Chain A
Amino acid sequence: MINNEHTIVKVGIADLNIVSAPDCIRTTGLGSCVGVVLYNQPKQIAGMAHIMLPNSKLAKQTNLNLYKYADTAIDILVDQLCRKGLRKSSLQAKLAGGAQMFQFSSNNDMMRIGQRNIEAVLQKLAEHHIPVIASDVGGNFGRTIEFDPATANLRIKTITKGEEII
């Protein structure tokens, strides 16, 4: 019997994972967090990180969760994809998220974290010379994203703005 069922690999908050076709990879309920997908379409392999904070150097934590921060998670994702036999120069990126869910009056930096996450991710991708092929970022709404390494489509679901594929 041929098993043509594909699995959907889940990525939690401050988490990352890697899939190859026919499996898909998804993360749910992105608000200010940014979902970053790095992929190589000919090889049909992709990795996704659900990034919560921009900079690990600002952490006040002793046991750092390296998957939580833009600067560390993207390094790890690149490294893991390279271990799968991909060359860094063959990777491309898509990203979504980085919303600001609430308009706070206090100018607490934590409260515009979405924008800071996006900037940190873009900066890190630029350091690795990984081109951003498509993105859907900002706004004030949540997103669930699912990436299919076979087609390199990133499907973005929202509650109020419907669904789109980038």
Chain B
Amino acid sequence: MAKIVIDGVEYEVNPDNNLLQECLSQGLDLPYFCWHPSMGSVGACRQCAVKQYRDEDDKEGMLVMACMTPASDGAIISLEDEQAKSFRSDVIESLMISHPHDCPVCEEGGECHLQDMTQMSGHNYRRYDKKKRTHRNQYLGPFINHEMNRCITCYRCVRYYDDYAGGTDLSAQASHHHVYFGRHEEGVLESEFSGNLVEVCPTGVFTDKAFSQHYSRKWDLQTAPSVCVGCSVGCNTAPGERYGTLRRIVNRYNSEVNGYFLCDRGRFGFDYVNSRERLLEPVKRVDNTGELLADDEIKAVIKEFSREGTIGIGSPRASNESNFALKTMVGDENFFAGYSDSESESMAAVLTLASDKAFHSPSVRKIEEADAVLILGEDVTNVAPRIALALRQSVRNKAMDLASESRIPQWQDAAVRELAQHERSPLSILSPAVSRLDDIAADRVIESLPALVAMGHQIANKISGSAPAATSPEHDAVAEKIAAQLKGAKRPLIVAGSSNGSELIKAAANIARALHEDGEDAAIDLCLLVPEVNSIGMGLMAAEENSLGVALDKLSSGAAKRVIVLENDLYRRAAKSQVDSALDKAEKVLVLDQVTTATTAKADVILPVTAFSEHEATYINYEGRAQLSFQVHQCQKMAQPAWRWISDAAHIDDLVERCCSEAPGFAKLRDVLPGENPFIAGMKVPRQSHRYSGRTAMIANVNVHEPKQMEDKESIMSFSMEGISAQKDPSIMASPWAPKWNSNQSISKFQDEVNGELKQGHVGSLLFEKTASGSYFDVPAVAAQPSGKQLHLALSYQIFGSDELSARAEPIRERMTDAYVGICPEDAQSRGLAQGDVATITPTGAPVVVCIRTGVKPGTALLYCGDANISPAEFTGLLEIEKSAAQATSRGISSLIVSDFQEEEI
């Protein structure tokens, strides 16, 4: 620690930080633009000037940029010095010269960092009365608006988009007062993380396009702390509602999980909550039409389904509470997994490994700390996007080491990058096709899935001779190199997932176990990705032998008469014929879901379920981290949380308590609930801000009488602006705000230090206990080789489309492609297929678009199943493709963003 003096007051600070970081960490107000907590300093905007003095006798001092000056021991600085204050005020005046007077119509107004900083630095009268420079804006796709006139050229957008997120299609153009941030021509921003521009831009150049369409000010949105349900990472979010519709999602800081950033699926994929496809009334099927169920009829249905002979199928996209309620209702032995049988196998491996002392499942933040990474067969960008962003940061650890050697502080962003050039920590990708992370990969091997499994085992064997041997002679040298890199690393990380069966997971585990043996028994980071928000939670609840296949067989054979399907479209999980025969044979089918699906079409009774923003729930992410998501707003119609339909629990806390004591593995779930006495003076935490406007007038067009505020009898939060605001307790804070800080940058007021944990902690609860000591998996028997026209199959996923619910959101739809099959040019030629042709695949005969990619392994076909029609469970390891006479549909594959799309020669 070091001691510095700021305006006569002594502070204990970390000398590795710069003065701006420390001023903010100490709770002081100092304006800045170009600095961002996750991106370090470049000293471009000159806004954070302070006076620094040589020693106590120095009365003159000199102006320095706080963000470029280390907080070294004995430093004496002043924020309040008149010269420093007037310098900051002059800088902002010049930055603001061409900024339009459009705050009243700007989407950023009210949460604008530029507004806050202008106020803070005291520039309140514009002297410049000449012509302002203006720009033409670009169309940037369905997510982001562009309004370049508002730009103050802080360069944060390109530093985030290019340097941090690895984007290539946004650049700084022109010079001096013409500087322009945009694409080389209009078009969709390609990065999967483009939405963060909305929060990174300190003003309104990049704004949320879908939000603009039904806009509301930040303070008029009802908000609560929520968790993204788009994938298994469980990023923390703050959804905002007004007039009964969900309007937008912004990031909510969690130091261990998402930090400051979300992916575009998470940010723009919520619109299905408002959609017409939502189920909002309890209905029964009478002669193929739906008929509204009366209350007593619902009771009768529940009673009927409580009898012997009922089985329940859980859901990886439903909460722990709803899965637990169903499991309790039907009994442990009648509760079945709601994912495919292949995924059941993978999940069994994942859960076994989760309790193994040899491994550690790293949080997103820990992933960023890895100094050698191996990705085995998983397309991280499309399966768990936020982790791909973290992996991009991990390769910079080499640069950080080089900087330390040269005594350059890590926050000196431009200097560290200049020093490191192309030096990166090793990241190796073994996959069936090129991926969106290839640009940072030191080594990549493109192989068929069986060959990747063999190579994984080969690497494990090279690290430790006690791992079972496997050979992959073609890639021996690369395997040797990767093994050496992992062995030599301080914090190696192995990434795999359940996208293509359990064998890759097992191979990855063997590599990690070999490192564990080699590395004096330290737990090795093994990140195993699963597809959905609560795959782990449901996996923990369903007995291993209770797979979906068994459930469907029970129905088909008549061993079970009735089935309750919880928030699940079984047609995405198993072969169509299998689901058809099970549901046709079942006497009665009860489906609880949020939206209409192929499964609800087969239901005798449908009970409508609330969406993620309409109920309180807990979910468990890929690393076993349980997190609580609060209700944001009420469902205007009759939907309820699934557990409420099928259990007599009065409160989610009751279910959590019961789940803790009854379900194995859930003992620590109660830690996510708010503390014993969360209320200050007995008052609840308001979901509406103290500036929430129009409460008495919001429905005046319907009724001039102001209705009573809706009560929330269960939660510690209220649907009101009254109560004690959560600002002092970040664990129940959706939207940070502090005096003078209306933008998301106010988060520094709630962190124990910049980039640190929130002051009262809110990182969720890790459920897994490390108790077991496992052993190596065996190398699998040689997989079936393709014969004739067959190809190896590798299932492929898309960030926009593979997730069932976000695929129904309008902005996401604009970015989706049809189901496609990705093959290399030689395989296409030998089948007479051209780019964009329609082909049929066996065994299902479903039509798919042909996508010829130069980076696909010859002899392998990537299959992306689209968002509806093809179930991945139809296929085993091999696939045949034949040309079809059918026409491509309108969507086609034009919005596919891959680097190896084969184009016509010029």
Report if A and B associate in a common complex: no
Interface residues of A (CB under 8 A from B): none
Interface residues of B (CB under 8 A from A): none
